Structure 1
Amino acid sequence: MTYASNNTPEGYITSSGTRSIAAGAITGLAITGDAHLTVLSPEALTPVESLNAPPRLTNIPPRNRLFVGREREIEQLNLEVNSQYAPRITVIHGLGGIGKSTLVANWAVDVTHKPAWWIAADSQTSIRAGLAEFACALQPSIANSLPQQALTERAISWLSSHENWLLVLDNVTDPSDINLITSRVKHGLIVVTSRRTTGWHHVDSDIALEALSTSEAKDLFAAIVNPKSKQSDVAITKLCAELGELPLAVEQAGAFCAESGISADEYLELLATHPAATYRNGPEGTHADRTVARVWNITLDRLADDPVSTLLLHVLCWYAPNSIPRSLVDKVSDAPALTKARGRLAAHSMISIDPESQSINLHRLVQAVGRTPDPMDQYRSKNLIASARSIALRHLKLALSGDLLEPGNWPSWRAIIPHVSHLADYSSPSEDCEVLCSVLSSAGMFLVNQGQFGEARRLLERSITGFSRLFGSVDVRTLQARITLGAALISLDGPAKTLPYVNRVLKDAEKYLGNDHEATLSSRNNVAYAYMWTGQPKRAIPLLKETIASRERTGDEGLEILVCRLNLARAYRDLKDFDTSLTITTSILDEAITTIGEDHPFIISIESALGGIYHETREHRKALDIQKKCLRDSEKLLGKSHPETLAAQNNLAASYSMIGNERRGLKLTEKTLKDRERVLGYLHPDTILTRNNFAAALLQTGNRTVAKHLFIQNLAECKDVLGPNHPLTRATETVLSLLR
């Protein structure tokens, strides 16, 4: 309360009370208390509709001299600029470090839209602050006249009432944060960069940014390092591939090499020996959050409230980067939590999900970092990474638990094998556990069944080393892997060189497992098969009969006994006992149709053997019809590159030659030779057989000189791979003696 008093000397007015005012007269505004008085300049009252932006107003970052590639994305952005529709909102989304901001900055420099304004938009607070700065740039005189809220509103109002401007919202983390702009603007062009891949249904277009091509990544690396350093092109290519062509990683590697004076080879060595430190260390002046080791932590921070997301990501890091089946992660957590985690990782560009197969993909460098423990990183503790690896292993073992001889299981097994190989490649052999060795053994057995002997050998040898270290060389698990390896080596190294190995394994199996153990029976069949391939069917027949008898004693009526009986029929055919061979083969065919069904791939093997017998008995037309059917069925069930399909193709080519259609036989034999060299290898026994057939077909069609040269070349290969006593070796020697 304020009281005025007249009891004062003449000419004076007094007042009393808190914050009272004494005045003879007040003609303006008098304020007491804590109020803030803002005096607006006349410019602040200018309507935004009539406010013109300063000429060439822009804060777009300068062009990056290291920018490479992205022609397709720039063309798409240019189409947005020239669109007749307004407003246009385009989102560039992708993994952190993929180059979203760099792309937009380099494109925006050349855009004629003005003003062109760049806002760091990682939160709504940042967006409002950026808009306020834009309002001040439009009218510098109002910078100190209005609060931020009013400046933000003024900026949005200006954008809503003007055309031909560009607004870049960089690094948006939540699509809803930009609604305060997009819900009101009528014209102009908005370009958004974000790690988020979802939530953009309200925008006009989106561009998913991928890694650079190999050539672009190499150009980027070369632009950074000193050209006088004489970097190896092969090493640069390998380094860029190791970094997954991720721009941030390539730039970090190039800058580090340039600063420290090391080569791409030396940087690769650092990655191999000290991965955590190499991912963490950039060149001098690099902010820690902009290194490969930390760039994705921003995203993981946003997912920190969901531990399943972090665990799922680390499990995925142990698989191959592409086409990861959902079955390999479906036990990470319960279905609702897993679905949520998968969706959140995809929404933040850490993974992508194929819309058709629902398989998962992620960048290989995300995997490399995620597999590398770093005590300085809360998301990469040694325990978390080890736990994720164990979970991945359990999923792989479960995925390979089905019957590998059942064709219905083959598609899923084929999808799993690359992930087995990848986990093994990035695990230390000295630390292989029983589960991993078991997975490698199962995968190797499947690959032998599929005719992929090279990769089978690699996985099986790793499995044998691990099992031997854990349980000894004659443990049943080790012996089973050794037996399977023997089957692969017959095809890879040739039966002549492999015979000592498979005989040694058979002796160990009989001694430590017994004569009737399943592994022993498989081993005995391997030895018999090797004898057959080296032209010794008489030595194979007793082994096969003994194996069949053992299986009959145990009541085995499955595929294994049918395979042994078919091998026995082939052995009799090699002895020229065609009647016995034909009787056994037709009996097997009838039994197999009843036992495993007429659509089973093994039926093709039986029918093909039947066709071979008809060739030997000179019933060529009957053989031709069978081989045509075998090739059709094999292509349908197994695919055009499967070894069984190539065998059917080889047999059909021989059938054409036998009936007098030499030209057609020559053409198909040449194709089969190329296919077998590509699929099986140059020195595979089947390839050598087809090469001999090709030489014979050339001779049959009058090309004596080329045929002789090919026979000479093939004779050396027959001796080396099949042995000097193999029928094909002797037959080749006979042909050459006649050609001399």
Structure 2
Amino acid sequence: MFRVGVDPEADVAERPTGPTPTAFSRELTSLYEMAGRPTYKQLVDHCAANNVKVTDSSIEEWISGKVVPRSGAAFGIVVQFLLLRAKAKNLSYAPRPPHVWEAWRREAQRQRRARQGRRTPARPARTVAGPPANPPVIAGEIPGQPPAFVHRTALWESGQEVLDRTGMVAYVGARGTGKTQLAAAHARHAAGDGRSVVWITASSRDEIVAGFCRLAGRLGVGADERDDDAVAELALSRLRQPGWYGLIVLDNADDPFEVSGWIPTTGDVTVIVTTTNRSFADMTEIVTVDGLTDDEAASYLETRTRIGLPGAHAIAAELGNLALALAQAAAVIPLRGYSADDYITQLRSTRLENLFAKTVGYPHTLTQAIVLSLNAVREVERGSELIEALAWLDPAGVSRRLITRLESDLLPGSAHVSLTSELVKNSLLLWSETYAYGSVHRVVSRVIREDAIRRDEIYGSLYWTVEALRGATRIESAPSAWLTELIEQSSWVFKHALDVHESLTGDQVHWLLEVGDSMTQFSWTMGLLAPNFRCCQALSELAAARLPSDSPLRHRAHSRYVLALHGRGRIDAAFELGERLSGEIAAGSTLALEHQALMIRVHLSRGDATGAVAVGRRALQAAEAASRTDDLPLNQIRNNLGLALHELGLYEEERTLYTRALEESRAKLHPDHPLLLHLENNLANLLGELGLWRESVEAHSRVLESRRRTMGDLHPDTVRSLGNLASAATKMGDYEQGRRLDEEAAAAAEAIHGKEHPETLIARANLASAYAKVGLVEKALLMDEEILETRRRILGPDHPAVLVSMNNLAQRYRAAGRPDDGLTLLREVLRIREASIGEKHPDTMLSRSNLAHALVESGNTADAIDLERKSLEQRREVLGENHPDTILSMNNLANYYFAADAVSEARELLERAVEGMEALSLQRHPMFLTMNANLLGVLVLAGDKPAALTVFERLAVSADELDRIGATTEQRTFAELAKRAVADPDFLDTLMRGGPAT
């Protein structure tokens, strides 16, 4: 494989100055043309294959000249791809080498900044009093300034000069040299200057994503997203917008490729990276951070210890002037009353046998200095337990509340000593700038864990930490933020345990996995999906590292991880691992059944309803053969299989499934048991799909009454039942009842979740639809506009929920006499869905049908026919001939043909649609009556009396049956006409001649 990225800056130092930003854009556009204009998706995929993340919108802005690329790594890979393509298309083409392009990029970036007339990001211009358009935010915890902080002015100014000139700088140096504190000084400067600051620990991709997710929370975006990557991308997109002035610090970064995709390529954001990896020079200019100067180091020690400059110089030289080591010495010397000679003697006599830190790049004397600090803390009652517990947790920081909780567990009641104060005094714990979080340096944490291994106390330390976290989850009415932190910190314990698993016995690993499993189940039940995912990932890796391939405990850890992957929207990864696991788990076991129930959902999420049904039928047969009629796996299988059957339109099989499940459960469970109510709710929804709306209303009413009685009015399940009953009542034609129920549901949802919660927005969207149905069109329109604006702000412009809101608003515009505005929205929805999920996705085909219907209403029948014909072809291919969506598409296209006087085409489609409804046993569905009424109109026009009589016979439905399905007034009129036509041949003749139906 060829090398990706660009050559170091030193290789281009003598090159001539590059083009201006405009000329640079022309050169890049020319190269793009020479390469045959590859799609932006091809370029994005090529970057992803090289472990670099970039969006197609960013590449489009580069090629079009809107912006100068900020990411050297991503730009280098794109350029190399274009150069290879251009050379392949024209063998005589003599391309400029990649490092020349990189030099041009940097020069164009410099000129762009110079043209703006500023060296630091300008503040938003304000002409009136009040806050700026984008108020500054602080996301992440900026490390606090340590005692006697050495400002290192020369290094700081060097970094700031690069930052002002290029927008990005990397501080590169060995561990413990003070890179993080340099970056923190920049962050404090930026925050004090009124700019936003985002502080992210960047040692892994997961940590980077988690950091941007925290930013998303501060910005109020991404609340409805399950996938962390999508949430992080939303936050990143906000940083690219004009008017967002700030600084991003990516601390302790390891891999340039992991970092490159998270650098804003547009906007007014500057970026600082701290790292030990000098290959960041391929991405940006670097500033090397070594130890402090001799004078800085000695002055620092003298200020903190009053040991005298000669002694301070001697100790600093012994420690290599490393900032972290000096901080340890500065803490221990006054506490112990050491002279310079005493400290150096103690340092040299500290033995480091079996400490792995010596072999992974940590200086020998740094490790010795840390061990001396640990020895001092061990003399404080329970001090070693607290620092060892913190060493298992997130190196980016632990909340003050959790540190206090851990300390109170160690020293219950009134203690005479503050353990945290002792840790701070010994330079083992550093508070953040806000004192809200405390952190232990990664090097210190690593040495502490390795020292515990050396002393054969690793399991005791691990055990106490895990049990303390698990105990803290049992606090009654604990807030979600507290539980989230506990599970997040647990995931770090499991990650660190993976690093030292060879020091744990088999029984100890089993215990850890069992405890971890209980915590993942707890976090899943509580809806803490993001921390649950990280716990499951770490436990799955630990199980794979230590347990044999046939271990049930290993299988369970992997299956939990499949569930977590699915919950976070990583469907392909969930399917791949889940399929592999399906062949490993012992058939017939409880775990096998639980896993099969999960795989039904995974298949559905992949759009494979046929595969989901096949898995579900096999799983149901296995569960019933095992006589597990009251087992949770059986209920999960039934529920998920029902969803899959519904997707394929196999309504009768779905109804039989739910009916049988209800009969068995009613014999064993209390009438108000949540499982029974869940099954009844599913059956009620199905009855509505079958057109049996009166039965659906009755069933939903029973469920709502039970949930009100057992759960109360302000419970999410009660709110959902209100919405379900409102929908069923509306389908029955009782629009006022639907409006009242939707109003109650929206008010309850807002009281439970708040105004902008996803569940509240769904309830409000339903209420807007209800207002439209009772004629309050303007009120509905204003509400839908507000919902769309809220979802766009929180979720971004292309989120599925945003597209649903756009479709709803389009309907309101049409009802309000603004058809052009409605068409504009529907076209945009279709465009976005075609680009994001493909032409043949069910949602895309639905959008195409919605647009076709709107075009017919506006008089453009020809275009509507083309769109609906395409939808019908694709639905036949993807869903099958007798799927409900395919049948509905046949009916729609037939109506458009009829409007265009293509009567024979309309008849053929309607006859096929009626046959499809009969094949699905939907002869009493309201749509069956509508399709037959449409067919009748075609047959009357064609003069086909025998065929018309057959249709009249199908339409002659009893009044009781019409009530059962909630038939409309028009359907009832057709039924009365049909009865009379069947009974009176003369009346039939009159109708066939087009006479009045009197």
What TM-score results when the alignment is normalised by the length of structure 2?
Answer: 0.41
8 Å Cα contact 1:353-1:360 kept in structure 2: yes
8 Å Cα contact 2:810-2:826 kept in structure 1: yes
8 Å Cα contact 1:332-1:338 kept in structure 2: no
1:710 aligned partner: 828
605-614 or 448-457, which deviates more: 448-457
2:388 aligned partner: 314
8 Å Cα contact 1:612-1:623 kept in structure 2: yes
Are residues 1:555 and 2:625 paired? no
1:524 aligned partner: 638
Alignment of 1:301-450 (within 5 A): 301-306=375-380, 308-320=382-394, 321-323=397-399, 324-325=401-402, 329=406, 333=410, 335-336=412-413, 340=417, 342=419, 344-345=421-422, 348=425, 362-364=437-439, 366=440, 368-373=442-447, 383-384=456-457, 387-399=460-472, 413-424=483-494, 428=498, 433=509
Do the aligned partners of residues 724 and 409 (structure 1) sit closer, same or farther apart at CA in structure 2, a change above 3 Å counting? same
Do the aligned partners of residues 620 and 351 (structure 1) sit closer, same or farther apart at CA in structure 2, a change above 3 Å counting? farther
- Hey, what's the Cα distance between the residues in 2 that align with 1:252 and 1:601? 44
Deviation at 1:712, TM superposition (A): 1.9
1:543 aligned partner: 657
- Hey, what's the Cα distance between the residues in 1 that align with 2:524 and 2:251? 33
Do the aligned partners of residues 656 and 216 (structure 1) sit closer, same or farther apart at CA in structure 2, a change above 3 Å counting? same
- Hey, what's the Cα distance between the residues in 2 that align with 1:260 and 1:665? 54
532-541 or 517-526, which deviates more: 532-541
SS in 1 for 2:695: helix
Are residues 1:590 and 2:660 paired? no
8 Å Cα contact 2:684-2:699 kept in structure 1: yes
- Hey, what's the Cα distance between the residues in 1 that align with 2:142 and 2:846? 58
- Hey, what's the Cα distance between the residues in 1 that align with 2:703 and 2:691? 19
8 Å Cα contact 2:253-2:273 kept in structure 1: no
1:214 aligned to which of 184, 187, 204: 187
2:145 aligned partner: 98
- Hey, what's the Cα distance between the residues in 2 that align with 1:398 and 1:373? 27
8 Å Cα contact 2:391-2:446 kept in structure 1: no
- Hey, what's the Cα distance between the residues in 1 that align with 2:563 and 2:151? 59
- Hey, what's the Cα distance between the residues in 1 that align with 2:658 and 2:796? 28
RMSD: 5.7
Deviation at 1:728, TM superposition (A): 4.8
- Hey, what's the Cα distance between the residues in 1 that align with 2:832 and 2:280? 54
- Hey, what's the Cα distance between the residues in 1 that align with 2:728 and 2:411? 57
Are residues 1:511 and 2:584 paired? no
- Hey, what's the Cα distance between the residues in 1 that align with 2:398 and 2:560? 31
Do the aligned partners of residues 215 and 600 (structure 1) sit closer, same or farther apart at CA in structure 2, a change above 3 Å counting? same
Do the aligned partners of residues 653 and 346 (structure 1) sit closer, same or farther apart at CA in structure 2, a change above 3 Å counting? farther
Alignment of 1:239-258 (within 5 A): 239=251
The amino acid of 2:853's aligned partner reads: V
8 Å Cα contact 1:569-1:585 kept in structure 2: yes
Deviation at 1:352, TM superposition (A): 8.7
Deviation at 1:566, TM superposition (A): 1.7
- Hey, what's the Cα distance between the residues in 1 that align with 2:252 and 2:554? 44
Do the aligned partners of residues 287 and 571 (structure 1) sit closer, same or farther apart at CA in structure 2, a change above 3 Å counting? closer
Deviation at 1:518, TM superposition (A): 0.7
Alignment of 1:34-183 (within 5 A): 98-102=145-149
Are residues 1:630 and 2:745 paired? yes
Do the aligned partners of residues 251 and 562 (structure 1) sit closer, same or farther apart at CA in structure 2, a change above 3 Å counting? closer
Unaligned runs of 5+ in 2: 1-119, 121-140, 154-181, 193-245, 255-270, 289-315, 329-365, 502-507, 572-600, 864-998
- Hey, what's the Cα distance between the residues in 2 that align with 1:678 and 1:533? 32
The amino acid of 2:761's aligned partner reads: L
- Hey, what's the Cα distance between the residues in 2 that align with 1:633 and 1:214? 43
Deviation at 1:508, TM superposition (A): 5.0
Alignment of 1:12-23 (within 5 A): none
Deviation at 1:502, TM superposition (A): 8.3
The amino acid of 1:551's aligned partner reads: S
SS in 2 for 1:100: coil
- Hey, what's the Cα distance between the residues in 2 that align with 1:698 and 1:282? 77
8 Å Cα contact 1:327-1:399 kept in structure 2: no
Deviation at 1:393, TM superposition (A): 2.7
Do the aligned partners of residues 442 and 732 (structure 1) sit closer, same or farther apart at CA in structure 2, a change above 3 Å counting? farther
The one-character-per-residue Cα deviations of 1:132-163 (angstroms, maximum 9, x if unpaired) are: xxxxxxxxxxxxxxxxxxxxxxxxxxxxxxxx
- Hey, what's the Cα distance between the residues in 2 that align with 1:368 and 1:342? 20
Do the aligned partners of residues 484 and 418 (structure 1) sit closer, same or farther apart at CA in structure 2, a change above 3 Å counting? closer
Deviation at 1:587, TM superposition (A): 0.7
Do the aligned partners of residues 553 and 602 (structure 1) sit closer, same or farther apart at CA in structure 2, a change above 3 Å counting? same
1:690 aligned to which of 805, 808, 811: 805
The one-character-per-residue Cα deviations of 1:377-434 (angstroms, maximum 9, x if unpaired) are: 85885855554333333344445579xxx98885653453433444455554995955
The one-character-per-residue Cα deviations of 1:349-382 (angstroms, maximum 9, x if unpaired) are: 866999xxxx995434x1533431369x858858
Do the aligned partners of residues 287 and 615 (structure 1) sit closer, same or farther apart at CA in structure 2, a change above 3 Å counting? closer
8 Å Cα contact 2:393-2:489 kept in structure 1: yes
SS in 2 for 1:371: helix
2:326 aligned to which of 274, 290, 294: 290
- Hey, what's the Cα distance between the residues in 2 that align with 1:408 and 1:260? 43
Deviation at 1:210, TM superposition (A): 12
Do the aligned partners of residues 715 and 95 (structure 1) sit closer, same or farther apart at CA in structure 2, a change above 3 Å counting? closer
8 Å Cα contact 1:723-1:729 kept in structure 2: no
- Hey, what's the Cα distance between the residues in 2 that align with 1:441 and 1:412? 19
- Hey, what's the Cα distance between the residues in 1 that align with 2:627 and 2:796? 36
1:566 aligned partner: 681
Do the aligned partners of residues 218 and 334 (structure 1) sit closer, same or farther apart at CA in structure 2, a change above 3 Å counting? closer
- Hey, what's the Cα distance between the residues in 2 that align with 1:370 and 1:505? 51
Deviation at 1:693, TM superposition (A): 1.9
Do the aligned partners of residues 412 and 253 (structure 1) sit closer, same or farther apart at CA in structure 2, a change above 3 Å counting? closer
Are residues 1:581 and 2:617 paired? no
- Hey, what's the Cα distance between the residues in 1 that align with 2:538 and 2:323? 42
The amino acid of 1:548's aligned partner reads: L
- Hey, what's the Cα distance between the residues in 1 that align with 2:833 and 2:278? 55
Do the aligned partners of residues 560 and 259 (structure 1) sit closer, same or farther apart at CA in structure 2, a change above 3 Å counting? closer
Do the aligned partners of residues 284 and 411 (structure 1) sit closer, same or farther apart at CA in structure 2, a change above 3 Å counting? closer
Q: Which has the higher helix share?
A: 2
Paired residues, what number? 505
Unaligned runs of 5+ in 1: 1-68, 70-93, 107-208, 220-233, 243-249, 269-279
The amino acid of 1:393's aligned partner reads: V
What TM-score results when the alignment is normalised by the length of structure 1?
Answer: 0.53
Are residues 1:603 and 2:718 paired? yes
The amino acid of 1:672's aligned partner reads: I
The one-character-per-residue Cα deviations of 1:298-337 (angstroms, maximum 9, x if unpaired) are: 7645433225222112213434424354796379546249
SS in 2 for 1:303: helix
8 Å Cα contact 2:388-2:448 kept in structure 1: no
The amino acid of 1:511's aligned partner reads: A
The amino acid of 2:700's aligned partner reads: T
The amino acid of 1:694's aligned partner reads: L
- Hey, what's the Cα distance between the residues in 2 that align with 1:683 and 1:538? 36
8 Å Cα contact 2:386-2:406 kept in structure 1: yes
8 Å Cα contact 2:619-2:637 kept in structure 1: no
Larger radius of gyration: 1
Do the aligned partners of residues 438 and 478 (structure 1) sit closer, same or farther apart at CA in structure 2, a change above 3 Å counting? farther
8 Å Cα contact 2:389-2:461 kept in structure 1: yes
